[in-house]
Amino acid sequence: ADMAEKRGLPEDLQEKGAKRPRTERWPDECTVFVTGDLHHTSEAEIREAFSKYGTVQNVTSWHNIPRKGAEYSFVNFLEPGAAAAVAGLKRVPVGRVVVKVRPKLPPRKPRGRQPPLWDLPPVDEHPPGDELLPHLLGDALGLDAQVGRLCKLVCLSEESKRARAEYCSRLCGLLRQFFPACSLDLFGSSVNGYGARGCDLDLFLDFGLGDSDGTQANSPSDDQVPLPSVAELLAAGPDAAAEVLKELPPRHRLRFVCKALMNRLAPIKVCCFISARVPIVKLHDPRFGLSCDINCTSRLSLVNTRLLQLYNAADPRVRPLVVFVRTWMRSHFLLTGRGNTLTSYAASMLVVCWLQRCARPPVLPTPEQMMARHAESGGETCEVEGRECGYIVKGEPCKVPTENRQTLAELVRGFFDFCASLNFDTHVVCLRTAELVERGVFYKELRKTPEWKHFRDGPMVIQDPLNLGHNVAASASLELAQKLAASCALAAEDMAGGPVGVADLLQAPLAKRLVERSVGSDVHRARIRMSGPELVHYPSALVWAREVRLRRPCRQLRRPHGEHRRWTAFFTFMRTLSRMARS
C-alpha cells in the first residue's frame, strides 16, 4: 500500500486483472492535460501543486506502463477560468520536476466510413478475362469482324465515359472552393477513343489565376514551402483562398490540392503528390474504382489527345487497329503501365507512324503535312507551351481521302512486319515526319535545338510529334526492344501461314513457338528459327539478337517489372531444353 501510494497507484489496481472504475466526466473547459516526467510524482503532489491556481475537484492519472508511475494526468478545476490560466502557463513545477500543461482537447469523432460527397453509379465495368476472349470472339467470322467485336468488349462504354465526365465535373466543383476560376479537363485514354475499361483517369488542372502553369526551375523544394491550412481557407471563402494560393508556385499549389483532397474527399484509399518532371497528384477512389492522375504543368497533353481524336475521325480503320495492337501488347507484357515497358501513348503513336509512312499508300497525314495544309488555307495560329499547335487546336478533322484500300487484317500484318524490321540500335522514329532517322544524324540535328538538354536517350527512341525534346519510349529497356521485335516477327509468321483469329494472336505465348530443335556438333546450343530476329539460348546467355548475338549474360539484363509467370515458364523451358541437349 505504501509503494502504491508512493507511485500514485490505487491499492485496488495492484491486483492482477483489476480495472480502474469509470470516473465522472468533467467539462473540457474545466480540465487541463498534464504530461512530462510524472514517473516519480503522486496524485497528491499534483493536486497540491495545482491547488495554488484554483479549486481542484479531481486528478485522474493514467498508467500505461506498470510500476513506472503515471504517464499523463487530467486535472479538473471547479472554475473554467482557473483551467484557462494554468493552460496559458504551459509549464508548472510539481515537486522536483516541471510538467507540461495544455488545454484538454475534445474527443475525436469515430473513424467510421464517411458518407460520400456525391452519389454516382459505378464508373467502369471490368473487361473480360483472357480465358473468356475465345468464347466471346469465336463466332465472329474473319479478323476484321473479331477486331471490331474486341473494341466493344475492352473499350469504355458510353455510360462509363459519361460517368467519368460527371466525376471530373464534381471534382472540379470541389476544387473551386479554393480556386474559383479553375477548370479540370480530361485527356488521355478516357477521351481519345482507345481507353480500356478500368484505365486511369488523366486530368489537367488549370488554376485560372492568370499566371503561367509551367514548372519553375528555381522554385524551392517541397519541404521548404509551408502550405496554408485547408480549414482556414474554407472559412475565408474562395476569393480570399485564391489570393493566398496565388503566391505559391504551381507545383506547390498542386501539393495543396493533394492536401485538400485528403481533407475533403474522404474516404479515399490513396492520395499522394509525386515530384517528377511532370509533378502529379495520384488519387484512388475505391467507391467508384477510379485511379486519377492530376497534373498542372503538361498542357501539351491536351493537344496530343486532340491529335489522336483527329486521326480517329480521319479513317474508320485507325481506332480498331490501335485498340487491337494495345491489347496484343498487354497480353504479351510489352505494355503494362509500370516498369521498363512501353506506355499506351507510345504504342498508339507507333501504330500511327506505320499508317503515315510505311503503309502504301499512306492512310494518315503526318503532323508536318497537316501544318502545311492548315497554313495554306489561312487557318488560325495557336501556341501551347511555345509550340505552334493551331493546326490541331483550331484545325478541322483530316478529311484527306486516301487511296489505301487494305483490310484491317492486312494492316495488322503490315504493322507486325514493320515492328519486326525496326532496328532501334541504329535508328530513331520521328513521329513529326514519320521517318526513320539514323541515330547519329538525329542527335546531330537535335543538339542545335534547345530541346536537347531535356531529351532522354534509351534503347528505344520515339520522338514526340509536338514536344521534340520528349522520348515517349524512354522507359523501355533493351530487353523490351528485343522482345518486341521477336514477338512481332512470330505474329507476322503466324499470319503469313494462314488465317488466324484474334484469340490466337492474343493467347499464344512465346514458349509455344518452338518450331525447331537443332542439336549439332555444338551440344550446348538450341535455336529457334524464325523470320527476322532469332532467339538463341546459351548456357550463360539468353538474349534476342537481330544481326549479331549479344554476349551479355541474361542475369545482367533488366527484365520489365511485373513480368508474368508465363514468361518465366518460358525461360525454365529453355533451360530444360539446354540440359537435354547436353545430355
pTM score, whole prediction = 0.67
In this structure, what C-alpha cell is assigned to residue 60?
Answer: 485522474
- In the chain, the amino acid numbered 89 is L
Which residues are 184's β-sheet partners? Answer: 205
Q: What is the DSSP letter of 495?
A: H
In this structure, what C-alpha cell is assigned to residue 352?
Answer: 500511327
Q: What is the DSSP letter of 195?
A: P
The C-alpha atoms of residue 386 and residue 37 are separated, in whole angstroms, by 63
Q: Which run of H or E residues covers position 238? A: helix 238-245
In this structure, what C-alpha cell is assigned to residue 374?
Answer: 492548315
Q: How far apart are the first and last CA of the chain?
A: 83
- Identical fold for domains 23-103 and 316-364+403-515, yes or no, is no
Confirm if 462 and 349 have CB atoms less than 8 A apart: yes
- In the chain, the amino acid numbered 411 is L
Query: Residue 351: what pLDDT?
Result: 94
In this structure, what C-alpha cell is assigned to residue 390?
Answer: 493551331
Cβ contacts of 372 within 8 Å, gap of 6 or more: none
The backbone torsions φ and ψ at residue 34, rounded to the nearest 5 degrees and listed phi first, read -120, 130
The C-alpha atoms of residue 502 and residue 504 are separated, in whole angstroms, by 5
Residue identified by cell 473554467 is 80
In this structure, what C-alpha cell is assigned to residue 428?
Answer: 530513331
Total count of residues recorded for the chain: 583
The C-alpha atoms of residue 401 and residue 139 are separated, in whole angstroms, by 33
Which residues are 77's β-sheet partners? Answer: 56
In this structure, what C-alpha cell is assigned to residue 516?
Answer: 525447331
The C-alpha atoms of residue 82 and residue 84 are separated, in whole angstroms, by 5
**Residue 191: left if φ>0, alpha if ψ -120 to 50, beta else—which one?**
alpha
User: Which residue ranges make up each domain of the chain?
Assistant: 23-103, 155-214+225-300, 316-364+403-515, 365-401
Query: Residue 438: what pLDDT?
Result: 93
Residue identified by cell 481506332 is 319
Q: Say which CATH superfamily domain 23-103 falls into.
A: RRM (RNA recognition motif) domain (3.30.70.330)
The C-alpha atoms of residue 50 and residue 509 are separated, in whole angstroms, by 78
CATH architecture, domain 155-214+225-300: 2-Layer Sandwich (3.30)
The C-alpha atoms of residue 143 and residue 505 are separated, in whole angstroms, by 10
The neighbour count for residue 9, using CB atoms within 10 Å, is 20
Residue 261, CA distances (Å) to 164, 270, 293, 430 in order: 18, 10, 13, 39
Of 95, 233, 133, 118, the C-alpha closest to 172 is 118
CATH architecture, domain 316-364+403-515: Orthogonal Bundle (1.10)
Q: What is the DSSP letter of 155?
A: B
What are the strands, taking DSSP E only, across 120-268? 183-187, 201-206
Residue 247, CA distances (Å) to 70, 160, 250, 500, 561 in order: 47, 38, 9, 61, 40
Query: Residue 350: what pLDDT?
Result: 94
* Whether the bond into 459 is cis, omega within 30 of 0: no
**Residue 65: left if φ>0, alpha if ψ -120 to 50, beta else—which one?**
beta
Query: Residue 266: what pLDDT?
Result: 63
Is 417 strand, coil or helix? helix
Confirm if 101 and 87 have CB atoms less than 8 A apart: yes
Is 91 strand, coil or helix? strand
Three-state SS string over 115-134 comes to CCCCCCCCCCCCCCCCCCHH
The C-alpha atoms of residue 498 and residue 503 are separated, in whole angstroms, by 15
- For 11-34, write each residue's pLDDT tens digit: 444 454 444 444 455 677 888 888
The backbone torsions φ and ψ at residue 306, rounded to the nearest 5 degrees and listed phi first, read -65, -35
Q: What is the DSSP letter of 11?
A: G
Query: Residue 441: what pLDDT?
Result: 93
The backbone torsions φ and ψ at residue 299, rounded to the nearest 5 degrees and listed phi first, read -70, -20
Residue identified by cell 532467339 is 535
Pick out the chain residues at pLDDT < 70. 1-26, 63-70, 107-141, 211-224, 266-267, 269-270, 359, 397-401, 508-583
